[in-house]
Chains A and B, each alone.
Chain A
Amino acid sequence: MDCGLITSVGRLLSSEQISSSLPFSPASIPDLLIDLDPAFGVYQERNSQTTPSGNGDPVGSWVARTGQIFTAPSDSKRPTYKTNNGKPYLEFDGVDDAIGVGAQTIGAFEYISAQKWRGGAAYGHYLTDVGQIPVLKRGTAGAEASKHYIYNGTTSQFEAVASFSSYPTPNFLASLRRDASNNLVGRINKVDIITGLSSSDNFGDTGLWIASNAGAAEPGAMDSFGIVLYSRALTSGERAQLEAYMEGRY
């Protein structure tokens, strides 16, 4: 037996070397909760039967790499599968399209989305209702294509930390906090993060929805290149890795 060869192979396959040689993905960072990627798990039907055949197909379900199954409420509310330079995305029509999954109950979290709001419609919601901690983004026409949000346990620590200002060429704007123009709205534990006023609900608490409020109201006309969500706030280094990665999705 050639023990030298076995030893060499063993060295080549050590876990450290394998992990360091693998390309970066959201799973490379610990505490990943959701990784929605339009290049993965996209099906025409709401019961996940057929992958899209090309531009224009409806998307009834979107299975996250982390296992959650996002589903459109009805066939009429399915977003559209599209590609841009060969890279897939989901187009939400701003009329009634929405896709969602049951509530994800977490505490502190951060999410990063790569999405473009096309404007025109009244609302530009990106993501709503994470369990009892809803995240609600309402944009302005032609504005941000993506934002991250961090919630560390108090409303004062909820902030948007980055955005793209153009599409398809991202332009990162670091450390953009929520501002006085109500660019960012939401409620945490039934408290409005802008006004601090208590409310009777958290916009429905019906689950985690993309492109609408609770899957029915306030639809956003937007293109989604995916969302990643972690159950903790990220470090600046991790955030930089994810920004570069999400930029690569378009």
Chain B
Amino acid sequence: MTEFIYKFLLVAPIEDISVLNTWIKTNVDPTGENWFTPSLSKDGKEPYTHAVCCFHATKDQAEKWANQLAKYTPLLSLEGFTNKTRKQQEMDLLAYKPVLQVAKGSVLAMSFNDEGKQPDIEYNLWAMGLRRVTSPTLNLIKA
């Protein structure tokens, strides 16, 4: 049975990435680099306006992330996140999403990895009004 029971999908504005990456380096993955990949914009063209990452999390890691995400806005609290029921965890994060969108232009989704679910990035991007930026290289080839 996996201990990585959560899978998070995070989308954040480009200007927030350095802060988030620094926090990740300190608290989550000291040797990892560039968790967030700049790959999104409103119209699917460069320049990038948002970056994305999708990752597994244990209970302890999920608690850290919940607390970190709560710092984006003081309006809601995710204290004791991992002690809540799965349904309540989903509801908490759903409640957060519109607040984060308004406050920071961010969006997040969470699924339960051990149930085989995956966050639906395409749906979340569509809901956010974001598009993947198509590689100029591939555009050239397709043309």
A interface residues (Cβ-Cβ under 8 A, vs B): 46, 52-58, 73-78, 80, 82, 93-97, 120-123, 138, 182, 185, 192, 194-195, 203, 213, 216-218
Which has the most chain A C-beta neighbours within 10 Å: B1, B118, B134, B141?
B141
Taking a contact as CB atoms under 8 Å apart, the answer to whether B135 and A76 are in contact is: no
Instruction: Write out the residue numbers on chain B whose beta carbons fall within 8 Å of the beta carbon of A58.
Output: 4, 55-56
CA–CA, A195 to B56, complex, Å? 40
CA–CA, A218 to B139, complex, Å? 12
Taking a contact as CB atoms under 8 Å apart, the answer to whether A54 and B1 are in contact is: yes
Given A80-B113, A194-B141 in contact, is the A75-B32 Cβ separation under 8 Å?
yes
Taking a contact as CB atoms under 8 Å apart, the answer to whether B29 and A76 are in contact is: yes
Minimal Cβ-Cβ distance residue in A for B142:
A182
CA–CA, A47 to B1, complex, Å? 21
Min CB–CB distance A220 → chain B (angstroms): 12
Instruction: Write out the residue numbers on chain B whose beta carbons fall within 8 Å of the beta carbon of A213.
Output: 135
Interface of A is mostly: loop
Given A58-B4, A93-B54 in contact, is the A76-B122 Cβ separation under 8 Å?
no
Instruction: Write out the residue numbers on chain B whose beta carbons fall within 8 Å of the beta carbon of A52.
Output: 2
Minimal Cβ-Cβ distance residue in B for A194:
B141
Which has the most chain A C-beta neighbours within 10 Å: B31, B52, B118, B134?
B118
Instruction: Write out the residue numbers on chain A whose beta carbons fall within 8 Å of the beta carbon of B52.
Output: 95-96
Instruction: Write out the residue numbers on chain A whose beta carbons fall within 8 Å of the beta carbon of B39.
Output: 217
Taking a contact as CB atoms under 8 Å apart, the answer to whether B56 and A78 are in contact is: yes
Given contacts A75-B29, A76-B35, 6 further A-B contacts (CB under 8 A): A56-B56, A76-B29, A77-B35, A82-B116, A192-B141, A216-B34
B15 sits at the interface (CB 8 A): no
Given A73-B32, A217-B39 in contact, is the A185-B141 Cβ separation under 8 Å?
yes
Specify which of B3, B31, B138 is in contact with A53 (CB 8 Å cutoff).
B3
B14 sits at the interface (CB 8 A): no
Min CB–CB distance B128 → chain A (angstroms): 14
B83 sits at the interface (CB 8 A): no
CA–CA, A55 to B116, complex, Å? 8
Taking a contact as CB atoms under 8 Å apart, the answer to whether B32 and A74 are in contact is: yes
Query: Would you give the 0/1 interface string for B120-143, flagging 1 where the beta carbon is closer than 8 Å to chain A?
Result: 011000000000101101100110
Instruction: Write out the residue numbers on chain B whose beta carbons fall within 8 Å of the beta carbon of A54.
Output: 1-2
B93 sits at the interface (CB 8 A): no
Nearest 6 interchain pairs by C-beta: A74-B32, A56-B2, A95-B54, A76-B55, A76-B35, A75-B29
Which has the most chain A C-beta neighbours within 10 Å: B39, B132, B138?
B138
Taking a contact as CB atoms under 8 Å apart, the answer to whether A203 and B122 are in contact is: no
Taking a contact as CB atoms under 8 Å apart, the answer to whether B138 and A56 are in contact is: no
Instruction: Write out the residue numbers on chain A whose beta carbons fall within 8 Å of the beta carbon of B137.
Output: 203
B78 sits at the interface (CB 8 A): no
Specify which of B3, B53, B114, B119 is in contact with A76 (CB 8 Å cutoff).
B53
Instruction: Write out the residue numbers on chain A whose beta carbons fall within 8 Å of the beta carbon of B99.
Output: none
Taking a contact as CB atoms under 8 Å apart, the answer to whether B4 and A95 are in contact is: no
Taking a contact as CB atoms under 8 Å apart, the answer to whether B121 and A73 are in contact is: no
CA–CA, A170 to B72, complex, Å? 47
Min CB–CB distance A186 → chain B (angstroms): 9
B82 sits at the interface (CB 8 A): no
- CB pairs A–B below 8 angstroms (19 shown): A53-B2, A56-B2, A56-B4, A56-B56, A56-B114, A57-B4, A73-B34, A75-B28, A76-B29, A77-B55, A78-B55, A95-B53, A95-B54, A96-B53, A138-B138, A185-B141, A213-B135, A217-B39, A218-B138
